[in-house]
Amino acid sequence: MAEETYTYSILNDTLNGKVNTTKLFAQIIESAIITSLNRINTDGDDLDIVFNATLSSGDETILDGIVAAHDGEALILPDLNTITDYDNTDNKAGITADNKLKVVLPPPTAPSGATAINRTEYDGVSGDDDNVYIIPNGETLIIQRLSSGSEVTSDGATTELWYDPNGTGVGMTIIDAIFSNGSSDQHDLNESYTGDGTKAVRMRRRNLTGGTVSIFGRWEGYY
């Protein structure tokens, strides 16, 4: 099939008397026009839209409407670090630096009848700062989430969560850790420990830089 060119006046036929060919190309190929678009050329006031075949009368009407509504502004490209819900564009999901889907879940909730635990610390830390929670005797603690963040520093900070079977800081087992440096993160967990009045969970906020650094740390769970 022979190419077919449709010529318009940029000044008189577009919305603002100007054209952005990249944007116009995208608007046409995303429209209901069936015939494939080949290229768009401009020469002075002439806007030439070239298709690979002759348009039907219906497609030509659609093209007239697209040109008339074309504002000539720059094409706004989508945020490549964001996924948008097709059915509801207000719903968005982020992409992490290593190209993984970033999912932010609602705060964990304790089952009906359970006792919710929320241990939060947020202040300036020089060196290490520990928050120790003794697991009640005979109760099984379920740890659901660790969250942390810190201000920007040269070497960053960590928030570590430890199982402390002796309640003394000796012989501990790491549960989880978050490194931060002007950033924040949260990890969803499902760890369980049964208390005897001595066993503990220790949240350690650690300044890796020196001086004093504001560090936020929180773990949540229930028994």
CATH number for the domain spanning 198: value is: 2.60.120.680
Instruction: Encode pLDDT of 150-198 as tens digits.
Output: 998 888 899 999 999 999 999 999 999 999 998 888 899 999 999 999 9
| Residue 195 per-residue DSSP state | B
Residue 8 counted as domain residue: yes
Reduce the DSSP state of residue 65 to 3 states and report it.
Answer: helix
* 120 and 215 within one domain: yes
Instruction: Encode pLDDT of 49-71 as tens digits.
Output: 999 999 999 999 999 999 999 99
What's the CA gap between 48 and 50, in Å, rounded?
A: 6
Residue 130 counted as domain residue: yes
Is 96 a residue whose pLDDT tops 70? no
* 199 and 123 within one domain: yes
* 139 and 64 within one domain: no
Residue 85 counted as domain residue: no
Residue 77 counted as domain residue: no
Instruction: Encode pLDDT of 23-39 as tens digits.
Output: 999 899 989 999 999 99
39 φ, ψ (degrees, to nearest 5)? -165, 170
* 203 and 121 within one domain: yes
* 126 and 60 within one domain: no
Joined tokens for residue 4: 């077919």
User: Which pLDDT value is given to residue 60?
Assistant: 96
Sign of the four-CA dihedral 131, 160, 99, 213: positive
* 201 and 120 within one domain: yes
* 198 and 142 within one domain: yes
Is 209 a residue whose pLDDT tops 90? no
Question: Which amino acid does the sequence have at 143?
Answer: I
Residue 191 counted as domain residue: yes
98 φ, ψ (degrees, to nearest 5)? -100, 25
What domain count does the chain have?
A: 2
Residue 88 counted as domain residue: no
* 49 and 134 within one domain: no
Q: Tokens 């009906």 belong to which residue?
A: 112
Q: Tokens 């059915």 belong to which residue?
A: 87
217 contacts 122 by C-beta, under 8 angstroms: yes
User: Which pLDDT value is given to residue 114?
Assistant: 94
Range of the domain at 184: 116-222
The Cα angle at residue 206 between residues 200 and 208, in degrees rounded to 5: 160
Residue 74 counted as domain residue: no
User: Which pLDDT value is given to residue 101?
Assistant: 60
User: Which pLDDT value is given to residue 81?
Assistant: 52
